[in-house]
Protein backbone atom coordinates (compact mmCIF):
# COMPACT_ATOMS: atom_id res chain seq x y z
CA UNK A 1 0.00 0.00 0.00
CA UNK A 2 3.02 2.26 0.33
CA UNK A 3 3.12 2.47 -3.48
CA UNK A 4 -0.28 4.19 -3.55
CA UNK A 5 -0.49 7.96 -3.82
CA UNK A 6 -2.49 9.79 -1.12
CA UNK A 7 -5.46 10.12 -3.50
CA UNK A 8 -5.24 6.44 -4.48
CA UNK A 9 -5.00 5.43 -0.82
CA UNK A 10 -8.18 7.38 -0.05
CA UNK A 11 -9.95 5.59 -2.90
CA UNK A 12 -8.59 2.24 -1.71
CA UNK A 13 -9.75 3.04 1.82
CA UNK A 14 -13.27 3.81 0.59
CA UNK A 15 -13.25 0.74 -1.69
CA UNK A 16 -12.20 -1.55 1.18
CA UNK A 17 -14.85 -0.15 3.50
CA UNK A 18 -17.48 -0.69 0.80
CA UNK A 19 -16.35 -4.32 0.42
CA UNK A 20 -16.43 -4.93 4.18
CA UNK A 21 -19.48 -2.88 5.07
CA UNK A 22 -22.11 -5.60 4.63
CA UNK A 23 -20.18 -8.09 6.73
CA UNK A 24 -19.38 -5.52 9.42
CA UNK A 25 -23.04 -4.48 9.65
CA UNK A 26 -24.21 -8.07 9.99
CA UNK A 27 -21.47 -8.80 12.52
CA UNK A 28 -22.01 -5.79 14.77
CA UNK A 29 -25.80 -6.15 14.85
CA UNK A 30 -25.77 -9.93 15.41
CA UNK A 31 -23.02 -10.21 18.04
CA UNK A 32 -25.17 -8.72 20.85
CA UNK A 33 -27.39 -11.79 20.42
CA UNK A 34 -24.59 -13.77 22.07
CA UNK A 35 -25.36 -11.99 25.33
CA UNK A 36 -29.08 -12.64 24.93
CA UNK A 37 -28.52 -16.35 24.29
CA UNK A 38 -26.00 -16.43 27.13
CA UNK A 39 -28.74 -15.59 29.63
CA UNK A 40 -30.31 -19.00 28.92
CA UNK A 41 -27.08 -20.52 30.17
CA UNK A 42 -27.20 -18.24 33.24
CA UNK A 43 -30.73 -19.40 34.02
CA UNK A 44 -29.79 -23.05 33.60
CA UNK A 45 -26.73 -22.74 35.87
CA UNK A 46 -27.78 -20.08 38.39
CA UNK A 47 -31.51 -20.70 38.53
CA UNK A 48 -33.65 -17.85 39.91
CA UNK A 49 -30.50 -15.88 40.78
CA UNK A 50 -29.99 -15.38 37.03
CA UNK A 51 -32.22 -12.29 37.16
CA UNK A 52 -29.20 -10.43 38.54
CA UNK A 53 -27.42 -10.83 35.20
CA UNK A 54 -30.49 -10.06 33.10
CA UNK A 55 -30.41 -6.28 33.60
CA UNK A 56 -26.67 -6.13 32.92
CA UNK A 57 -27.09 -8.16 29.75
CA UNK A 58 -29.97 -5.97 28.52
CA UNK A 59 -27.99 -2.77 29.11
CA UNK A 60 -24.97 -4.15 27.27
CA UNK A 61 -27.11 -5.38 24.36
CA UNK A 62 -28.75 -1.96 23.98
CA UNK A 63 -25.36 -0.21 24.13
CA UNK A 64 -23.87 -2.51 21.49
CA UNK A 65 -26.88 -2.12 19.17
CA UNK A 66 -26.70 1.68 19.48
CA UNK A 67 -22.99 1.62 18.64
CA UNK A 68 -23.68 -0.71 15.70
CA UNK A 69 -26.23 1.79 14.36
CA UNK A 70 -23.75 4.67 14.79
CA UNK A 71 -21.03 2.63 13.07
CA UNK A 72 -23.27 2.07 10.06
CA UNK A 73 -24.16 5.77 9.95
CA UNK A 74 -20.63 7.19 10.13
CA UNK A 75 -19.04 4.35 8.14
CA UNK A 76 -15.57 5.40 6.84
CA UNK A 77 -15.20 8.70 8.69
CA UNK A 78 -12.89 9.23 11.64
CA UNK A 79 -15.98 9.23 13.82
CA UNK A 80 -16.85 5.81 12.41
CA UNK A 81 -13.43 4.49 13.41
CA UNK A 82 -13.86 5.89 16.92
CA UNK A 83 -17.27 4.21 17.16
CA UNK A 84 -15.73 0.92 16.03
CA UNK A 85 -13.15 1.13 18.81
CA UNK A 86 -15.91 2.04 21.28
CA UNK A 87 -17.86 -1.02 20.12
CA UNK A 88 -14.88 -3.29 20.82
CA UNK A 89 -14.33 -1.61 24.21
CA UNK A 90 -18.00 -2.06 25.12
CA UNK A 91 -17.81 -5.71 24.12
CA UNK A 92 -14.70 -6.13 26.26
CA UNK A 93 -16.44 -4.41 29.18
CA UNK A 94 -19.46 -6.68 28.67
CA UNK A 95 -17.31 -9.79 28.96
CA UNK A 96 -15.57 -8.38 32.05
CA UNK A 97 -18.83 -7.32 33.77
CA UNK A 98 -20.53 -10.68 33.23
CA UNK A 99 -17.39 -12.46 34.40
CA UNK A 100 -17.31 -10.28 37.54
CA UNK A 101 -20.93 -11.26 38.28
CA UNK A 102 -19.91 -14.91 38.10
CA UNK A 103 -16.16 -15.16 38.93
CA UNK A 104 -16.23 -18.92 38.40
CA UNK A 105 -16.15 -18.18 34.66
CA UNK A 106 -12.82 -16.38 35.02
CA UNK A 107 -10.93 -19.43 33.82
CA UNK A 108 -13.01 -19.60 30.62
CA UNK A 109 -13.51 -16.09 29.26
CA UNK A 110 -9.96 -15.76 27.91
CA UNK A 111 -11.18 -17.95 25.03
CA UNK A 112 -13.98 -15.44 24.31
CA UNK A 113 -11.48 -12.56 24.19
CA UNK A 114 -9.27 -14.52 21.79
CA UNK A 115 -12.18 -15.39 19.48
CA UNK A 116 -13.46 -11.80 19.42
CA UNK A 117 -10.01 -10.56 18.38
CA UNK A 118 -9.94 -13.12 15.56
CA UNK A 119 -13.42 -12.04 14.42
CA UNK A 120 -13.13 -8.24 14.69
CA UNK A 121 -9.55 -7.40 13.67
CA UNK A 122 -9.79 -8.54 10.00
CA UNK A 123 -12.52 -5.91 9.52
CA UNK A 124 -10.29 -2.98 10.57
CA UNK A 125 -8.93 -1.06 7.58
CA UNK A 126 -6.58 1.34 9.36
CA UNK A 127 -3.84 -0.03 11.60
CA UNK A 128 -4.68 2.51 14.29
CA UNK A 129 -8.26 1.20 14.37
CA UNK A 130 -7.00 -2.38 14.69
CA UNK A 131 -4.78 -1.41 17.62
CA UNK A 132 -7.68 0.40 19.29
CA UNK A 133 -10.00 -2.58 18.80
CA UNK A 134 -7.42 -5.00 20.24
CA UNK A 135 -6.89 -2.75 23.26
CA UNK A 136 -10.64 -2.30 23.75
CA UNK A 137 -11.19 -6.05 23.82
CA UNK A 138 -8.32 -6.93 26.16
CA UNK A 139 -7.94 -4.10 28.67
CA UNK A 140 -11.26 -4.56 30.53
CA UNK A 141 -10.40 -8.19 31.33
CA UNK A 142 -6.89 -7.23 32.43
CA UNK A 143 -8.43 -4.60 34.72
CA UNK A 144 -10.74 -7.27 36.17
CA UNK A 145 -7.81 -9.64 36.75
CA UNK A 146 -6.00 -6.85 38.57
CA UNK A 147 -9.09 -6.02 40.65
CA UNK A 148 -9.64 -9.65 41.63
CA UNK A 149 -5.93 -10.21 42.34
CA UNK A 150 -5.98 -13.18 39.97
CA UNK A 151 -3.19 -15.74 40.26
CA UNK A 152 -0.21 -15.67 37.93
CA UNK A 153 -1.50 -18.69 36.01
CA UNK A 154 -4.64 -16.80 34.93
CA UNK A 155 -2.58 -13.77 33.92
CA UNK A 156 -0.37 -15.97 31.77
CA UNK A 157 -3.41 -17.66 30.20
CA UNK A 158 -5.10 -14.34 29.37
CA UNK A 159 -1.90 -12.81 28.01
CA UNK A 160 -1.15 -15.84 25.83
CA UNK A 161 -4.69 -16.27 24.52
CA UNK A 162 -5.02 -12.52 23.86
CA UNK A 163 -1.68 -12.47 22.04
CA UNK A 164 -2.64 -15.48 19.92
CA UNK A 165 -6.04 -13.96 19.08
CA UNK A 166 -4.50 -10.61 18.14
CA UNK A 167 -1.78 -12.31 16.08
CA UNK A 168 -4.27 -14.43 14.13
CA UNK A 169 -6.61 -11.46 13.68
CA UNK A 170 -3.82 -9.21 12.40
CA UNK A 171 -2.56 -11.89 9.99
CA UNK A 172 -6.10 -12.31 8.67
CA UNK A 173 -6.42 -8.53 8.41
CA UNK A 174 -3.19 -8.33 6.42
CA UNK A 175 -4.33 -11.11 4.07
CA UNK A 176 -7.72 -9.43 3.60
CA UNK A 177 -6.16 -6.04 2.83
CA UNK A 178 -3.64 -7.50 0.36
CA UNK A 179 -6.36 -9.45 -1.45
CA UNK A 180 -8.54 -6.34 -1.58
CA UNK A 181 -5.58 -4.29 -2.79
CA UNK A 182 -5.05 -6.69 -5.70
CA UNK A 183 -8.71 -6.37 -6.65
CA UNK A 184 -8.52 -2.57 -6.31
CA UNK A 185 -5.40 -2.28 -8.49
CA UNK A 186 -6.87 -4.48 -11.24
CA UNK A 187 -10.11 -2.51 -11.05
CA UNK A 188 -8.24 0.79 -11.33
CA UNK A 189 -6.30 -0.47 -14.36
CA UNK A 190 -9.51 -1.59 -16.03
CA UNK A 191 -11.23 1.72 -15.29
CA UNK A 192 -8.19 3.58 -16.59
CA UNK A 193 -8.38 1.69 -19.86
CA UNK A 194 -12.12 2.23 -20.12
CA UNK A 195 -11.84 5.94 -19.27
CA UNK A 196 -8.67 6.82 -21.20
CA UNK A 197 -8.34 7.92 -24.81
CA UNK A 198 -5.97 5.38 -26.35
CA UNK A 199 -4.38 7.87 -28.77
CA UNK A 200 -3.68 10.86 -26.53
CA UNK A 201 -3.57 9.37 -23.03
CA UNK A 202 -6.04 11.90 -21.62
CA UNK A 203 -9.53 10.93 -20.48
CA UNK A 204 -12.14 9.96 -23.05
CA UNK A 205 -15.79 11.01 -22.86
CA UNK A 206 -16.68 8.32 -20.31
CA UNK A 207 -13.67 9.28 -18.20
CA UNK A 208 -14.65 12.94 -18.46
CA UNK A 209 -18.18 12.26 -17.27
CA UNK A 210 -16.99 10.21 -14.29
CA UNK A 211 -14.12 12.43 -13.11
CA UNK A 212 -15.72 15.79 -13.84
CA UNK A 213 -18.92 14.81 -12.04
CA UNK A 214 -16.92 13.85 -8.95
CA UNK A 215 -14.91 17.10 -9.01
CA UNK A 216 -18.07 19.15 -9.58
CA UNK A 217 -19.78 17.56 -6.56
CA UNK A 218 -16.78 18.35 -4.35
CA UNK A 219 -16.72 22.01 -5.40
CA UNK A 220 -20.49 22.39 -5.28
CA UNK A 221 -20.55 21.35 -1.63
CA UNK A 222 -17.60 23.57 -0.69
CA UNK A 223 -18.47 26.62 -2.79
CA UNK A 224 -14.97 26.80 -4.31
CA UNK A 225 -14.68 28.14 -7.90
CA UNK A 226 -14.64 25.71 -10.82
CA UNK A 227 -14.01 26.65 -14.45
CA UNK A 228 -14.42 24.92 -17.81
CA UNK A 229 -12.29 25.41 -20.94
CA UNK A 230 -13.36 23.99 -24.30
CA UNK A 231 -10.57 23.72 -26.91
CA UNK A 232 -10.83 23.00 -30.63
CA UNK A 233 -7.89 22.61 -33.03
CA UNK A 234 -8.47 25.04 -35.89
CA UNK A 235 -8.80 23.58 -39.41
CA UNK A 236 -7.92 20.11 -38.19
CA UNK A 237 -9.65 18.49 -41.18
CA UNK A 238 -7.25 20.39 -43.42
CA UNK A 239 -4.30 18.87 -41.48
CA UNK A 240 -5.64 15.37 -42.09
CA UNK A 241 -6.39 16.05 -45.76
CA UNK A 242 -3.06 17.73 -46.52
CA UNK A 243 -0.64 15.74 -44.36
CA UNK A 244 -2.42 12.46 -43.66
CA UNK A 245 -4.02 10.90 -40.61
CA UNK A 246 -0.68 9.88 -39.11
CA UNK A 247 0.30 13.54 -38.93
CA UNK A 248 -3.13 14.40 -37.57
CA UNK A 249 -2.69 11.81 -34.83
CA UNK A 250 0.74 13.26 -34.00
CA UNK A 251 -0.83 16.74 -33.71
CA UNK A 252 -3.49 15.42 -31.33
CA UNK A 253 -0.82 13.75 -29.20
CA UNK A 254 1.31 16.90 -29.11
CA UNK A 255 -1.63 19.12 -28.19
CA UNK A 256 -2.75 16.73 -25.43
CA UNK A 257 0.80 16.69 -24.05
CA UNK A 258 0.84 20.49 -23.88
CA UNK A 259 -2.55 20.51 -22.18
CA UNK A 260 -1.29 18.14 -19.49
CA UNK A 261 1.87 20.20 -19.04
CA UNK A 262 -0.07 23.42 -18.46
CA UNK A 263 -2.76 21.90 -16.22
CA UNK A 264 -2.43 20.53 -12.70
CA UNK A 265 -2.69 16.92 -11.63
CA UNK A 266 -6.08 17.39 -9.95
CA UNK A 267 -7.58 19.15 -12.99
CA UNK A 268 -9.52 17.03 -15.49
CA UNK A 269 -8.67 17.09 -19.20
CA UNK A 270 -10.39 14.94 -21.82
CA UNK A 271 -10.68 14.45 -25.55
CA UNK A 272 -14.41 14.54 -26.26
CA UNK A 273 -14.40 14.76 -30.04
CA UNK A 274 -12.11 14.29 -33.02
CA UNK A 275 -10.16 17.49 -32.36
CA UNK A 276 -12.02 18.79 -29.31
CA UNK A 277 -10.63 18.83 -25.79
CA UNK A 278 -12.29 19.98 -22.58
CA UNK A 279 -10.66 20.84 -19.26
CA UNK A 280 -12.16 21.29 -15.79
CA UNK A 281 -10.00 23.47 -13.54
CA UNK A 282 -10.41 23.06 -9.80
CA UNK A 283 -10.28 26.11 -7.48
CA UNK A 284 -9.99 28.39 -10.51
CA UNK A 285 -11.94 31.54 -11.34
CA UNK A 286 -12.89 32.40 -14.91
CA UNK A 287 -10.17 35.08 -14.99
CA UNK A 288 -7.47 32.60 -14.01
CA UNK A 289 -8.88 30.00 -16.40
CA UNK A 290 -8.72 32.57 -19.21
CA UNK A 291 -5.04 33.16 -18.46
CA UNK A 292 -4.36 29.42 -18.48
CA UNK A 293 -6.18 29.02 -21.79
CA UNK A 294 -4.19 31.90 -23.29
CA UNK A 295 -0.89 30.34 -22.22
CA UNK A 296 -1.94 27.06 -23.83
CA UNK A 297 -3.05 28.84 -27.02
CA UNK A 298 0.32 30.58 -27.34
CA UNK A 299 2.25 27.38 -26.64
CA UNK A 300 0.36 25.51 -29.36
CA UNK A 301 0.68 28.41 -31.81
CA UNK A 302 4.47 28.37 -31.50
CA UNK A 303 4.73 24.59 -31.57
CA UNK A 304 5.44 24.12 -35.27
CA UNK A 305 5.86 20.33 -35.08
CA UNK A 306 4.79 18.17 -36.79
CA UNK A 307 2.84 20.99 -38.49
CA UNK A 308 1.83 24.43 -37.30
CA UNK A 309 -1.67 24.55 -35.83
CA UNK A 310 -3.70 26.92 -33.68
CA UNK A 311 -6.56 26.43 -31.26
CA UNK A 312 -9.70 28.30 -30.30
CA UNK A 313 -11.20 28.08 -26.83
CA UNK A 314 -14.25 29.00 -24.81
CA UNK A 315 -13.93 29.66 -21.08
CA UNK A 316 -16.54 29.90 -18.35
CA UNK A 317 -16.97 29.47 -14.61
CA UNK A 318 -19.64 27.21 -13.16
CA UNK A 319 -22.31 29.16 -11.28
CA UNK A 320 -23.54 28.10 -7.83
CA UNK A 321 -26.21 25.36 -7.99
CA UNK A 322 -25.60 25.05 -11.74
CA UNK A 323 -25.22 21.65 -13.38
CA UNK A 324 -21.88 20.85 -14.94
CA UNK A 325 -23.63 20.13 -18.23
CA UNK A 326 -24.98 23.69 -18.36
CA UNK A 327 -21.55 25.19 -17.67
CA UNK A 328 -19.96 22.95 -20.30
CA UNK A 329 -22.57 23.97 -22.87
CA UNK A 330 -21.83 27.62 -22.12
CA UNK A 331 -18.10 27.03 -22.66
CA UNK A 332 -18.91 25.21 -25.91
CA UNK A 333 -21.00 28.18 -27.05
CA UNK A 334 -18.09 30.52 -26.24
CA UNK A 335 -15.82 28.26 -28.31
CA UNK A 336 -18.20 28.61 -31.24
CA UNK A 337 -18.01 32.41 -30.89
CA UNK A 338 -14.21 32.20 -30.93
CA UNK A 339 -14.28 30.22 -34.17
CA UNK A 340 -16.79 32.57 -35.76
CA UNK A 341 -14.65 35.56 -34.75
CA UNK A 342 -11.68 34.26 -36.74
CA UNK A 343 -10.23 31.38 -34.69
CA UNK A 344 -6.93 31.27 -32.75
CA UNK A 345 -8.47 33.18 -29.83
CA UNK A 346 -10.12 32.78 -26.43
CA UNK A 347 -13.69 33.88 -25.69
CA UNK A 348 -14.95 34.14 -22.13
CA UNK A 349 -18.62 33.45 -21.34
Dihedral angle of Cα 195, 76, 132, 167, to the nearest 10 degrees: -40
* Torsion over CA: 164, 80, 34, 92 (sign): positive
Which among 275, 276, 287, 305 is annotated as catalytic?
275
The CB density around residue 231, as the number of other CB atoms within 10 Å, is 28
Alpha carbons within 13 A on the beta-carbon side of 329: 5
Strand arrangement, sheet containing 226-233: 268-271, 276-282, 226-233, 311-317, 346-348
SS3 string, 31-87, reads CCHHHHHHHHHHHHHHHHHHHHHHHHHHHHHHHHHHHHHHHHHHCCCHHHHHHHHHH
Question: Please, what is the Cα angle at 209 between 315 and 277, to 5 degrees?
Answer: 40
Angle at which helices 51-74 and 6-30 cross, to 10°: 150
**Helices within 124-151 (DSSP H only):** 127-147
The enclosing H or E element of 314 equals strand 311-317
Q: Please enumerate in sequence order all residues whose Cβ is within 8 A of that of 25, keeping only pairs 6 or more positions apart, or say none.
A: 68, 71, 72
Q: Which residues pair with 276 in a beta bridge?
A: 232
Any catalytic annotation for residue 325? no
**Cα–Cα distance for residue pair 168/6, rounded to 1 Å:** 29
Alpha-carbon radius of gyration of the chain? 30
Active site residues: 275
Amino acid sequence: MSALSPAEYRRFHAFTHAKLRGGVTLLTFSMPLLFAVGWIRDYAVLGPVAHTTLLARLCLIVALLCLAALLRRYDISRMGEAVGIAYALTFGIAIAVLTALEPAKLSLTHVAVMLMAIILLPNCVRRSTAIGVAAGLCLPMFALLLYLAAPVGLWVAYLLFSAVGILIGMVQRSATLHATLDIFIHRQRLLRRLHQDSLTGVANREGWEARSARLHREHESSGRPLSVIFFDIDHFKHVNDQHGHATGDAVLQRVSTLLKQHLRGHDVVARVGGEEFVALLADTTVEDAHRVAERIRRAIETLGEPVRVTVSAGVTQAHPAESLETATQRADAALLQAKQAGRNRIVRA
